[in-house]
Structure 1
């Protein structure tokens, strides 16, 4: 691992979630001298990867990351194949839909269709959520024990009072996801918001993404029609990606695990 790149990545990670931090704050997080961190931040600033907050000495993520993220999204075949299906799913259910992929122990939303009722809603593309706290993430964890096992062995962060934080409970839920072909969360990431999700596989048969229907908790649980529409969308996207069958199989554990 190249040390300077590793440190730069940690700076960017520390600033995610709209955090604005000063050199002293970043130095404490990285456990490095402020002078070292200052040099790294200045280099990142020159490339537009971080920006200085106007009128302060704090730094935030820079505009170049938006361009890079758009390039990344444009290269994702699953997103291109899924867009018309997620839009149709939103139309059929009257709910918002999300498409997510794994990002270490989180899930990142790579496509989002707002509720088709015309109400004001925030765009969610690029949002990251701890995988154990959302239906999207539970799908991805259930089908990849290489990511799920170390997460279950550690401490699960609470986002709301309803977040699953007991590793044993999470393990049971993940087994049920594979059995049922769908995951659920109720108020776990955001109070008042619940969702259901299903897996998307590629030509290798492995799960590469998940699709979800998001609804107010007052409308949860969804009826069978919504669940069937969700599964049909996941099946259609998987078919376009060349998946040999659906629901997919769980990924094998690596030999070194």
Structure 2
């Protein structure tokens, strides 16, 4: 079997590096982070820029991901059956709760947001990666999907949380009191009743919670949304 092509591996590494940061990176940053000679890194960045996969800021000379990646990513997401089936349900969920709605699937060591309905004024997060064990979306997937849960889970306390998630039928993630956020998520199944993703909402805890935790109406809306998507995927609404 032919070996991998080194230049493609390096180009992919540059795209991952730029995707993982919250700021633009200069040539020296890219080269040192990936252990490349500056000339090699510059040649790769120049090619990626010519294809629209990377953009260079005219003032600073630093690089960031290009708009062509968004077009390619949108093509993948639009072809994703779960996202296609979830669109109208998550729109309804966002309207019913007044909070940001998410649909996500397991991906690598986290969960990939394949659809996001943001609150007014919030930036879209479709394509973002969320922590597997540190998000309600990830936790509900871990609770029901043994393949996902095969990753290191973080000890007996996390296993107890997964058991509680299965018992109540949804996962929660509450930040410490005082201006924190709250999230609740439920599982989506396909026609074989297998876990394929999760749907949930996130918002300010002061809106989503009372003294007893996440508001029952919010939980019910998320669970109904999950049943609706699952039903459209052939799992039924039981």
1:79 aligns with 83
**Alpha-carbon distance between aligned partners in 1 of 2:170 and 2:5, rounded to the nearest angstrom:** 40
CA distance in 2, matches of 1:173, 1:10: 35
1:207 corresponds in structure 2 to 195
Distance 1:28 1:169 in 2: 39
CA distance in 2, matches of 1:148, 1:19: 32
In structure 1, what is the Cα distance between the partners aligned to 2:121 and 2:39?
A: 45
Ranges of 4+ aligned residues in structure 1 off by more than 4 Å = none
CA 1:148–1:43: 2 relative to 1, 3 Å = farther
Report the equivalent of 2:217.
225
Q: 1:111 aligns with which of 103, 115, 133?
A: 115
Separation in structure 2 between the aligned mates of residue 139 and residue 9 of structure 1, nearest angstrom: 31
1:199 positional shift: 0.8
Aligned length: 228
Matched position secondary structure for 2:138? helix
> Over residues 9-63 of structure 1, what are the superposed CA-to-partner deviations in whole Å (9 max), with x where a residue is unaligned?
2211111144311222122221222222222222211211111111223211011
Give the counterpart of 2:13 among 10, 31, 53: 10
In the alignment, the residues of structure 2 paired with residue 94 and residue 56 of structure 1 have an alpha-carbon distance, to the nearest angstrom, of: 40
Give RMSD over aligned pairs: 2.2
How do 1:1-257 residues align onto structure 2 when only pairs under 5 Å count?
Answer: 1-16=4-19, 17-115=21-119, 119-152=120-153, 166-187=154-175, 192-219=180-207, 220=209, 221-243=213-235
Check conservation: 1:50, 1:62, Cα contact below 8 A. Answer: yes
The 3 A distance-change label for structure 1 pair 32 and 143 is farther
Contact 1:18 1:61 in 2 (8 A): no
Q: TM-score if structure 1 supplies the norm length? A: 0.79
Q: Which runs of 5+ in 2 are unaligned?
A: none
